Amino acid sequence: MIGLKVQKNNADKIRRVLLNHSLINLDLKIKRVDDFVYIPLIFKPNKKLMEEIKVYDVKIVNTEFEIHTKGPKSLKDYLKNKIDPDLVEEIKKSFDIIGDIVILEIPEEFDEYKYTIGNAALKFTKRKTVYRKTSEIKGVIRTRELEHLAGEDVSETIHREFGSRFKLDVKKVYFSPRLATERKRISDLVNNNETIVDMFAGIGPFSISIARNHKVNLYAIDINPDAYKYLKENVKLNKLEGTIIPLLGDVNEVLNSLSLEADRIIMNLPGSAKNFLDTAMNSLKSGGEIHYYEFASEYQVPVKRIIETAYPRKVEVLNTRKVKSKSPGIWHMGVDARIY
C-alpha cells in the first residue's frame, strides 16, 4: 500500500495539505512508528505538490496499513440488509427510552424479525433492556403488556428528567417520557406557598418536578398501590423544596375526606379525567387553576366541558395545547383554566 512517511512534528501540517488535495485513503488508519507518521494515500502526490512539501522531509513508501473498522452509527446501519429501511424508520419513531429500558413497537407482520430488531436496538441505544409493546395502555391503572426482546428482563429502572429522578417498574405503573416538556411547563407556572393536588399522580413525575423547584404543599394521589410505592420512594430520591403528601386511593374518596381548598389541580388522566371534573371544582379555591387533559380532536371539546362543569363559576381559559398525538386526528389535549 502506498503511503507518505513524515516526521511526527510535521505530520499534522502535511495531513491537512494531503486532505485538501483529497489524497488520503480514509478507509485506512494512519500509523505511527517511532518518530515517524505514515499517512495512507490513494495516489502519489504530483511533482508540483512534492516540490511544495519536500522541505518537510517527506518520503513516499510502500507499507501496510490497517483498515478502519467503522462501527454502525445508526439503527439503520445495525439492521442493514436485514430489515426494510422504511420499517426501521417507523420503529425508531416508536422508541421510548425510560432509564435503562427501551420500549418499542414492531408491527405484527414483522414478528419474525423481533429479536433481530430487539438486539439491534439494545446495541444502538446502549441500554440494558428492550421490550416490545404488545397491548394498548389499558385499565384503571393505565399499564400495558410488554414482551421481552433483548438484554436483561428487568423492568425496574431509574429515569432522569430535567434533574429529577424517577424510579419505576415499566410493567406495573404508567410512565411516559414524552410528557417531560409538559411537566416542565406546568412546574414553571407554579408559585411558592401554593396548595396543589396531583389527582392522578402515578409515580409522581408532575409532583416531583414541581416540589423540587417550589416551596409548595402538594397532595399526590393514586389508586395503583405500585405507583404509590414508587411515589413514596421518589419523594425520598429527590431533594425537594416543597412537601409532597403521597396518598393511596380513589381520588374522589381521598379528596372528599380532606376538604381541601387548592390553588392548583393537575388532572393527567386524559381518558377519563372528565368524570372527576366535579370533584376538582369542589376542591379548587376561587381564582385557582386546573391543568386538565383529555383525548380529543379539538380543544373546544375539553374547554366546553370545563365551562359546563364549573357553571355558575366563571372560567378563564389560560392556555390550550396539543401535548402529544394519541392516534390519527386525536390528541392528548391540555387546557389550563382559572376558575372563579
Ligand X SMILES: C[S@@+](CC[C@H](N)C(=O)[O-])C[C@H]1O[C@@H](n2cnc3c(N)ncnc32)[C@H](O)[C@@H]1O
Binding residues for ligand X, rule: CB under 6 A, are 140-142, 174-175, 179, 200-202, 205-206, 221-224, 227, 250-251, 268-269
Nearer to ligand X, 223 or 301 (CB): 223
According to DSSP, the β-strands at 262-267 and 31-33 are unpaired
Q: How far is the CB of 270 from ligand X (least distance, A)?
A: 7
Alpha-carbon separation of residue 298 from 43, 205, 304, 307 (angstroms): 64, 26, 11, 15
Q: How far is the CB of 81 from ligand X (least distance, A)?
A: 39
Nearer to ligand X, 125 or 224 (CB): 224
**Pick from 227, 225, 195: nearest CA to 210:** 195
Nearer to ligand X, 25 or 283 (CB): 283
**Pick from 140, 115, 66, 124: nearest CA to 92:** 124
**What are 311's three cell numbers?**
357553571
Nearer to ligand X, 38 or 131 (CB): 131
On the 0-12 / 13-18 / 19+ scale of CB atoms within 10 A, 230 is buried
Using CB positions, name the residue nearest to ligand X.
202
* CA 98 – CA 96 distance, rounded (Å): 6
Q: How far is the CB of 252 from ligand X (least distance, A)?
A: 7
Find out whether 290 and 267 touch, Cβ atoms under 8 Å: yes
Q: How far is the CB of 284 from ligand X (least distance, A)?
A: 17
Nearer to ligand X, 83 or 179 (CB): 179
Q: How far is the CB of 214 from ligand X (least distance, A)?
A: 17
Q: Which residues are 336's β-sheet partners? A: 291, 319
